Copies of this chain bind each other. A is one copy, B any other.
Amino acid sequence: MKKEIPIELANRLINHGPLVLVTSLYRDKANIIPVAWQTPVSISPALVAISVNQNSLSAELIDQGEEFVINVPPVSLLDKVKFCGAYSGREVNKFDQTGLTPLKARMVKPSLIEECIGHIECQLYGRHTVGDHKLFIGGVVAASVDEDKFDGYLRAEMKEAKTLHHLGGSYFLSSGDLVPLT
C-alpha cells in the first residue's frame, strides 16, 4: 500500500542519490526515462532538480507538459530500467514494452509507476539549459511511498527497499547498510 507523505519530506525519497525513473506526458505521448542525475535543491519551497539530455523525448515532453514524476525503483527493476535507458520513447511505448504499471497521480497528469517504492509529483518551477543537458527544477506538489518502507526516512537499507545507484556505463550498486551499523 502507498501512503501520502508531506511535501516537505519528499526529498527524503531521493536524498541518498538513487537512480530514478522520470515519467512525463504531453497530449497523448507518455514516456519513462532513467535519471541518475537528480537532487533535491530547496527545502522551502520544496524543489527538486533533474538533468536530462536536451535531445531526449522526455526533455521535450517536460518542456511542453510542464510536469513530471520522479519514481524510485527497487533493485528488482534493473532490467526494466536498462530497457528504458536503451530505447527512445520516440520508437517504443515504454509502459507497454516493460509491462510497468501506470498509476494515476494525485496532482499531475504524468503517471506514477506502481512497481516503484516512492513517487514525487512535480510541476515545473524552472528550466535551464546547462551544457548538453536541460536542468528541470520541479516544485513538489505531492509525494507518496510504500507505507512499509518509510518511517519518516526511506528504509533503503531493508532488503525489499534497496535502491539502485548508477556508477556509470552498465554498473549499478544497491543501497547498502546503515552507518554506523545498527
A residues engaging B (CB < 8 A)? 11-12, 15-18, 36-47, 49, 51, 75, 78, 126, 128, 130-133, 135, 137, 152-154, 156-157, 162, 164-169, 171-180
The 6 closest A-B pairs by CB, nearest first: A17-B17, A42-B131, A176-B176, A16-B165, A174-B176, A41-B51
Question: Copies of this chain, how many?
Answer: 2
Asked if A49 meets B174 with Cβ closer than 8 Å, knowing A36-B15, A41-B37, A180-B78, the reply is no
Q: For A43, list chain B residues within 8 Å (CB).
A: 131-133
Complex CA–CA separation, A132 to B41 (angstroms) = 8
Say yes or no: A167 contacts B12, CB within 8 Å.
yes
Complex CA–CA separation, A130 to B11 (angstroms) = 15
